Copies of this chain bind each other. A is one copy, B any other.
Amino acid sequence: MLYNQNPYIALIIIGNEILSGRTLDKNTQYVATKLGSIGVELKEVRVIPDVEAEIVNTVNHLREKYDYVVTTGGIGPTHDDITSAAVAKAFGVELYRHPEAYKVLAEHYKGEENFNSGRLKMTYVPQGAELIGNPISMAPGFKMENVFVLAGVPSIMQAMLENVIPQLRHGVPVRAKTVNVKTGESVIATEMTELQKKYKHIDIGSYPYTNDPDHADGKHGTNIVFRGQDVGAIDNAIGEFVGLLKKMKIDFVR
């Protein structure tokens, strides 16, 4: 927790499809990277099922704990889409038919006569909500205080997030540089502990890999990631670390 001036955000992924293993979650990485680039730091992710009490409790806990909360999933037209109702409950308000959402969707479906119960459902948001535009499938997300409620389909989530970004307080982006060390992390553990003590304002992470297909450059090694807001400090720490590796005759790629 080194960058106290940056806003912190939590992500709530609502969806049985992630918990069943059917779908690989890619929204976390997208949100982390995108918001990290504007200095809004992802500090917690929760994946929870389509169960009202879980959504209510999780939203209420995290909106107190963090500057912002983003939820994904469960705002579509079907019976398993219960996020809007649950968020209304979390805030102690009722759902109501939002005139703008109604207008947008009536146009999208080419007339009110084409509304069925599912399509109508997507025109309802909690009282007090502000809509978040959805340029892809038109059904809007919404904002309640510091909670941003988005769709779960990655392409739609990403488009909605563009409309969220201007509403967030931007911080100082956290930069990261990696040194790929061609040895197990235990070899350099003591030295890294000392280095981390010295460079308190950067965050030194040690990520070993074995025969991970993502790392074609070696069968066994460690990525040392230096993260922080001050690139000069990162470069100093890396310089010192690299000197150490040379002295210890350990191969690396900078």
Contacts and interface: CB of A to CB of B under 8 A. Distances in A.
Interface of A: 1, 16-26, 28-33, 36, 41-49, 51, 54, 76-81, 109, 116-119, 121-122, 136-137, 153-156, 174, 176, 184-190, 192-193, 196, 203-212, 225, 227
**A contact face: mostly helix, strand, loop, or mixed:** mixed
12 contacts: A16-B227, A17-B207, A21-B29, A44-B47, A78-B185, A79-B192, A79-B193, A118-B188, A119-B186, A122-B186, A155-B212, A156-B210
A206 B18 CA distance: 13
Could you say how many copies of this chain the assembly holds? 2
A75 B196 CA distance: 18
A19 B47 contact: no
Given A16-B203, A21-B29, A117-B193, 8 more contacts: A19-B43, A28-B47, A77-B185, A79-B189, A79-B204, A119-B186, A122-B186, A137-B208
Contacts of A31: 21
Contacts of A79: 189, 192-193, 196, 204, 206
A68 B246 CA distance: 45
